């Protein structure tokens, strides 16, 4: 059986600077996979390349269909929701408008209303702030908003770029619990990029370690966690 998401020989560069030197990885439907690596390893670029935000070479297959070279809008329409680095909040719009935009490509109006209540169920704080200008939300709330906005697409695959970045440990835990719940209840597959390797390995089923634009190690989360080199360099004990 072909993998749900299959990436082969992914190259990308910013101008003359090459960032990805042939990344290969694959993930199955319904699983959570994490890409680990230090700053500048190419994790964010990998996610951006998957949804057509940076120029890339290589092959990306999603649910049996080639999506490399497709415009971002068209990748999104295939059910891939990206929670970007920096959260991508529409700061001048209200919380609820941000959420409605997440469902922009959907035609099932009634289901969208139901989904709005569903994400408010996950993040009650957002419901309290539904009329508030999104730029005035706290960092944690904006991260919740970014995740919720992605959920409003009813995605098949979520790409999460550093969901823990800049958040207090308690909020990170809350967020990761919700991500786990979403994955289990709604069978949303997730590809998570994280610097917080310990948290990511706790969440994920599989992990890939990226160093300077290449995959150097892969395995189940448990295998990666017990790898000595990873433990020393990324888990720090």
Partner 1 sequence: MDAFLHQVLAGLATGGIYASLALALVMIYQATHLVNFAQGEMAMFATYFAWSLINAGMPYWPAFLLTVVFAFVLGVVIERVIIRPVENAPVLAIVVVFIALLVILNSVTGWIFTYTIKVFPSPFPAEPIFGRYITSHGGGAIGVTMVVLLLLYLFFRFTPLGLAMRAAAQNPDSARLVGIRVGWMLALGWGLAAAIGGVAGMMVAPIVFLDPNMMGGVLLYAFAAALVGGIDNPAGAVFGGFLVGVLENVLGAFVIGNELKLAVALVLIIGVLVVKPSGIFGKVLVTRV
Residue ranges binding partner 1 (CB under 8 A): 51, 53, 71-73, 76-77, 81-82, 84, 88-93, 97, 100-102, 104-105, 133, 135-139, 149, 153, 166
Pick between residue 153 and residue 210 the one whose CB is nearest to partner 1: 153
Supply the minimum distance, in Å, between the C-beta of residue 142 and partner 1: 8
Supply the minimum distance, in Å, between the C-beta of residue 183 and partner 1: 20
Residues 6 or more apart whose CB falls under 8 angstroms from that of 209 comprise 36, 37, 215, 216, 217, 218, 224, 230, 234
Pick between residue 60 and residue 230 the one whose CB is nearest to partner 1: 60
Supply the minimum distance, in Å, between the C-beta of residue 89 and partner 1: 7
Supply the minimum distance, in Å, between the C-beta of residue 225 and partner 1: 31
Pick between residue 81 and residue 207 the one whose CB is nearest to partner 1: 81
Residue position matching structure tokens 């694959």: 26
Q: Please state, in angstroms and rounded to a whole number, the distance separating the CA atoms of residues 101 and 152.
A: 8
3-state secondary structure 103-121: CCCCCCHHHHHHHHHHHHH
Contact call for residues 226 and 193 (beta carbons, < 8 A) = no
- Count of beta carbons in the 10 Å neighbourhood of residue 203: 24
Residue position matching structure tokens 């390893």: 41
Supply the minimum distance, in Å, between the C-beta of residue 73 and partner 1: 5
Q: Please state, in angstroms and rounded to a whole number, the distance separating the CA atoms of residues 211 and 60.
A: 20
Q: Please state, in angstroms and rounded to a whole number, the distance separating the CA atoms of residues 64 and 57.
A: 18
Supply the minimum distance, in Å, between the C-beta of residue 158 and partner 1: 12
Pick between residue 157 and residue 224 the one whose CB is nearest to partner 1: 157
Provide the β-strand partners of residue 186: none
Pick between residue 43 and residue 129 the one whose CB is nearest to partner 1: 129
The dihedrals phi and psi of 7, each to the nearest 5 degrees, come to -120, 125
Pick between residue 3 and residue 101 the one whose CB is nearest to partner 1: 101
Contact call for residues 54 and 72 (beta carbons, < 8 A) = no
Supply the minimum distance, in Å, between the C-beta of residue 102 and partner 1: 5
- Count of beta carbons in the 10 Å neighbourhood of residue 75: 23
Pick between residue 33 and residue 98 the one whose CB is nearest to partner 1: 98
Q: Please state, in angstroms and rounded to a whole number, the distance separating the CA atoms of residues 225 and 98.
A: 37
């Amino acid at each position: 059986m072909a993998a749900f998401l299959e990436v082969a020989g992914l190259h990308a560069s910013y101008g003359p600077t090459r960032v990805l030197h042939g990344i290969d990885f694959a993930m199955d439907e319904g699983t959570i996979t994490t890409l680990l690596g230090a700053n500048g390893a190419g994790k964010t670029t990998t996610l951006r390349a998957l949804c057509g935000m940076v120029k890339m070479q290589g092959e990306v297959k999603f649910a049996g269909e080639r999506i490399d070279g497709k415009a971002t809008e068209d990748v999104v329409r295939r059910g891939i929701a990206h929670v970007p680095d920096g959260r991508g909040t529409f700061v001048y719009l209200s919380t609820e408008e941000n959420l409605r935009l997440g469902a922009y490509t959907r035609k099932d109006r009634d289901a969208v209303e139901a989904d709005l209540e569903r994400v408010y169920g996950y993040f009650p704080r957002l419901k309290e702030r539904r009329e508030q200008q999104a730029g005035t939300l706290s960092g944690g709330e904006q991260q919740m908003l970014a995740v919720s906005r992605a959920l409003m697409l009813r995605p098949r695959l979520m790409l999460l770029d550093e969901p823990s970045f800049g958040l207090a440990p308690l909020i990170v835990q809350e967020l990761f619990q919700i991500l786990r719940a979403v994955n289990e209840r709604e069978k949303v597959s997730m590809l998570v990029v994280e610097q917080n390797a310990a948290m990511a390995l706790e969440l994920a089923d599989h992990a890939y370690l990226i160093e300077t634009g290449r995959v150097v190690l892969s395995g189940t989360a448990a295998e990666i966690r017990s790898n000595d080199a990873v433990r020393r360099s990324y888990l720090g004990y």
